Amino acid sequence: MENKNAAFNDPRVLFAYITVCILWGSTYLAIRVGVSDLPPGLFAGIRFITAGLIMLAFARIRGLKNAPGRRDIVNSAIVGLFLLYGGNGLVVWSEQWLASSLAALLIATVPLFVALIDTVVPGGTPIGWLGWVGLLTGFSGVALLMAPGIELGGTQLAGLIAILLAALLWASGSVFSSRKPTSCSIVYSIAIQFLAAGIALSTTGLFAGELPRFHLTRAGIGAMLYLIFFGSLAGYSAYIYILKAMPPAKASTYAYVNPVVAVLLGYFILKEQVTVITVIAAAIILGGVLLVQMSRTKAPVESPGADKLTTVSKSA
């Protein structure tokens, strides 16, 4: 995986990418079901703590070497706080009021934020005029999609803002992860990310007074188990793998497929409404993402930050 731009030539990377596309599209449904019965902080926190402990147990059973050093622990914890505590945590919180399909469509803006961040940080890849057109197009679709919720205000508006902040934090964590190499096994790195986020989410939930409202139900347990084994252990591990194997903007294109899977599942299983405006806004957002990706693929392969990114892929 030395050449990140040719990563799809590796069947392992391609399989991991497809896994992320399908599994993460279904997690929005599971989150919606889970927060219907369980408070968001403890629901998400227990999920990630459990997943983290399983990953650590797996590492111990396999006898994996390359245990994490202090820098590995700090960098992995930071990534976990960006991606999972901030990014995923806000998605879980917002789905108390937002439809799972709407949440997924707004999270589709992650590649836009990734491209924007990677453009302005030192050593990043500029997107060019086509990329800026894509950003304008994509965020225009976001405005159209958010318009009804803005009019309603209240929890709907708060949920919409939280989702966009989640996308920004996820993008920030993705860029940070691609630029901060780790010398430890990727299993240890993922476990640390899970545990850091899980502890932070659980602590937040406890301070928010969620414990008295935490009563396990069949639906809540089922949703949590699905998210632990498919969303966390399988899906997230695959995402970290492809993030080490390809540029962050290219890795984040899973967001093309996730909304389609989420919308279909929300429509057929949860009977969520899909309006003409939703379809138009989704097409505009994904069209903007496509323009951004086209702009970045035309950029030179070599960049001032290329050596750093290559180093990250080696550590996986």
For the segment 226-264, what is each residue's pLDDT rounded down to a tens digit? 999 998 899 878 887 888 888 776 776 776 788 889 999
DSSP states of 10-24? SHHHHHHHHHHHHHH
pLDDT: which is higher, 8 or 216: 216
DSSP state of 123: T
Q: Strand, helix or coil at 99?
A: coil
For 55, the token pair is 């990953």
Angle at 53 between CA 47 and CA 59, to 5 degrees: 135
CA torsion angle 98 237 170 65 (round to 10): 150
DSSP state of 246: S
Please, which pLDDT band fits residue 224 given cuts at 50, 70 and 90? very high
The pLDDT tens digits of the residues spanning 122-177 come to 877 778 889 999 999 999 999 999 988 877 778 889 999 999 999 999 999 988 88
CA-only gyration radius of the chain, Å: 19
Mean pLDDT to the nearest integer, 73-94: 96
DSSP state of 4: G
pLDDT at 6: 53
Q: Is residue 313 over pLDDT 60? A: no
The pLDDT tens digits of the residues spanning 51-67 come to 999 999 998 898 888 88
Q: Is residue 50 over pLDDT 80? A: yes
Contacts (Cβ under 8 Å, ≥6 apart) of 140: 284, 288
For 316, the token pair is 């996986």
For 85, half-sphere exposure in the C-beta direction (CA atoms, 13 angstrom radius) is: 22
Q: Are 52 and 195 in contact (CB under 8 A)?
A: yes
Q: Is residue 29 over pLDDT 50? A: yes
Q: Is residue 22 over pLDDT 80? A: yes
Phi, psi dihedral angles at 310 (to 5 degrees): -65, -40
The residue with tokens 């997690």 is 27
User: Mean of the per-residue pLDDT values for the chain?
Assistant: 86
